[in-house]
Amino acid sequence: MTVQSKSEFKPTDAIREAAAVVARRPTRALLTALGTVLGVGAFVATTGIGATARAQVSSRFDALKATEVRVQDAALNNENPFPSDTDQRLEALNGVRHAGLFYEVPSSSTTSPRSTIVRRSQAAETIPVIAATPGAIKATHPTLGMGMLFNDFHQSRSERVVVVGRVAAEQLGITRFDGQTFIFLGDTAYAVMGRLDDVDRDPELLLSVIIPESTAAKNFDTSTVEREVLIDADAGAAQLIGTQAPVALRPQDPARLRALVPPDPATLRNSIEGDVESLFLVLAIVAVIIGGVAIANATLVNVIERRSEIGLRRALGATKLHVAIQITIEAALTGAVAGVLGTTIGVLATSGASIARTWTATMDLRIVAVAPLIGVATGAVAGFGPSLRAARTPPAETLRQ
């Protein structure tokens, strides 16, 4: 004769029984789940804030850093590698808004600006003199306080005019910018055309006196200066302009020039945020592991406490596998609670961080959907060991207690 009816534990019954056990002590379940809550929460918040930041990188970064190209002389040999029509050649390129050449005129007693014709007997604080083409000044996004900027007319005629930075104007005591005020470079008077109150790029211009590049080349020794071209490009065009500018400026020998382009903004952001995300993801994984250990420990204690119940279930016909399944489901349910709570906390943290920065929260819904499953998986894995121990519980021994 054989055993015809087999012991059976339906999946729905297993889940119901496990849920009843977890719900029996909700506070304990929550405390047990705490580590996993933090782990899942950190995972969701990290990915959420990362995604939000990627979508919300400031326009200033994009507009200023990602649209700036500089071209330098790659082989300094006291020759000017840039053509006289630098501005025009570059501004003819698609994607270039403004471009121009600039350099600092070597400082000496002859060029040190002063507001009086008489030279000071003692050296005063030196004010830098910058030679710049009109396009270079425009490429700095200048804010003109008073007067006007010099232009192509002044550049082409090497006019003796200057624009002074706000700080330099204060140092020189200049208050009028109507062309009737002069400063002296050496013994030569230069008409003050205007005052720069602010620039987005190269803020040292505010400390300087700026003269047309052609004027500097005509009146001063510029053989040893380090020239640089500043290009203000359209958003997204910098990489291309960086390859085109040397060819446009020096088609016969573009290798002589070196273009400095900003790193691709998306790549840079992904790289920086990727590093941050990696760090937080590692922390999240560590938290999940700690949470798993906590669940495993609590489940083990639970199994030891419930030896008589497990013995009873065995007496009622549960197989070892049935017992192991129930204990594993109990741990998985605890993990599920942790997963749901952690996901909620992660979403709230992402929303809070976004609101604080007036960003629009951006989250990958797949992450939100998958995150609770991390808790379930953590619980199930953590409960596996204790479930085996529970399955090995000898029923006769436990029921005697």
Partner 1 sequence: MSLLVAEDSVATDQQIVARVEGLSRTFVGPPPVAALQPCDFEIRRGEFVAVTGMSGSGKTTLLSLLGLLDAPTSGRYFLDGIDTAVMTDRQRSSVRAFRIGFVFQAFHLLGYRSVLDNVELGLLYQGVGRSDRKKRALAVIEDVGLSSRINAPCAVLSGGEKQRVAIARSLVREPALILCDEPTGNLDKATTSQILGLLDGLHARGLTIVMITHDVAIARRASRRLSISDGTVTEVPRE
Report how far residue 12's alpha carbon sits from residue 156's, in angstroms, rounded to the nearest whole number: 88
Scan for tokens 């104007």, then name that residue: 169
The least distance separating partner 1 from the CB of residue 394, rounded to whole angstroms, comes to: 8
Number of residues lying near partner 1 (CB under 8 A): 34
What is the dihedral sign for C-alpha 52, 53, 59, 65? negative
Residues 279-318: x/- map of binding to partner 1 (CB under 8 A)? Answer: -----------------------------xx-xxxxxxxx
Q: Which is nearer to partner 1, 334 or 354 (CB)?
A: 334
Q: Which is nearer to partner 1, 19 or 74 (CB)?
A: 19
Q: Residue 362 has which token pair?
A: 């951006």
The least distance separating partner 1 from the CB of residue 341, rounded to whole angstroms, comes to: 23
238-242-245-247 Cα dihedral, nearest 10 degrees: -140
**Residue 291 and residue 378 in contact, taking contact as beta carbons nearer than 8 Å:** yes
Of 6, 118, 180, 224, the residue at the interface with partner 1 (CB under 8 A) is 6
Q: Which is nearer to partner 1, 3 or 118 (CB)?
A: 3
**Which residue in 255, 225, 3 sits closest to 106, CA to CA?**
225
Question: Is 142 an interacting residue with respect to partner 1 (CB under 8 A)?
Answer: no
Cα angle value 68/69/73 (rounded, 5°): 150
Of 8, 125, 187, 226, the residue at the interface with partner 1 (CB under 8 A) is 8
Of 15, 17, 247, 254, the residue at the interface with partner 1 (CB under 8 A) is 17
**Residue 371 and residue 346 in contact, taking contact as beta carbons nearer than 8 Å:** yes
**Cβ partners under 8 Å of residue 293, min gap 6:** 35, 382
Q: Which is nearer to partner 1, 25 or 357 (CB)?
A: 25
**Which amino acid, one-letter code, is at 335?**
G
Q: Which is nearer to partner 1, 225 or 318 (CB)?
A: 318
Q: Which is nearer to partner 1, 24 or 366 (CB)?
A: 24
Question: Is 118 an interacting residue with respect to partner 1 (CB under 8 A)?
Answer: no
The least distance separating partner 1 from the CB of residue 380, rounded to whole angstroms, comes to: 22
The DSSP element (H or E) to which 162 belongs, if any, is strand 161-165
Residues 311-370 that bind partner 1 (CB under 8 A): 311-322
Pairing of strands 129-132, 209-212: parallel
**Which amino acid, one-letter code, is at 203?**
P
Q: Which is nearer to partner 1, 9 or 280 (CB)?
A: 9
Choose the stretch contacting partner 1; rule: CB under 8 A; options: 115-123, 197-205, 362-370, 392-400. 392-400
Question: Is 117 an interacting residue with respect to partner 1 (CB under 8 A)?
Answer: no
Q: Which is nearer to partner 1, 352 or 394 (CB)?
A: 394
Question: Is 198 an interacting residue with respect to partner 1 (CB under 8 A)?
Answer: no
Choose the stretch contacting partner 1; rule: CB under 8 A; options: 114-122, 155-163, 185-193, 391-399. 391-399
**Cβ partners under 8 Å of residue 49, min gap 6:** 349, 350, 353, 354
**Cβ partners under 8 Å of residue 369, min gap 6:** none
Scan for tokens 């709230």, then name that residue: 348
Q: Residue 111 has which token pair?
A: 């060029």
Residues 227-266 that bind partner 1 (CB under 8 A): none
Q: Which residues bind partner 1 (CB under 8 A)?
A: 1-3, 5-10, 12-13, 17, 20, 24, 308-309, 311-322, 394-396, 399-401
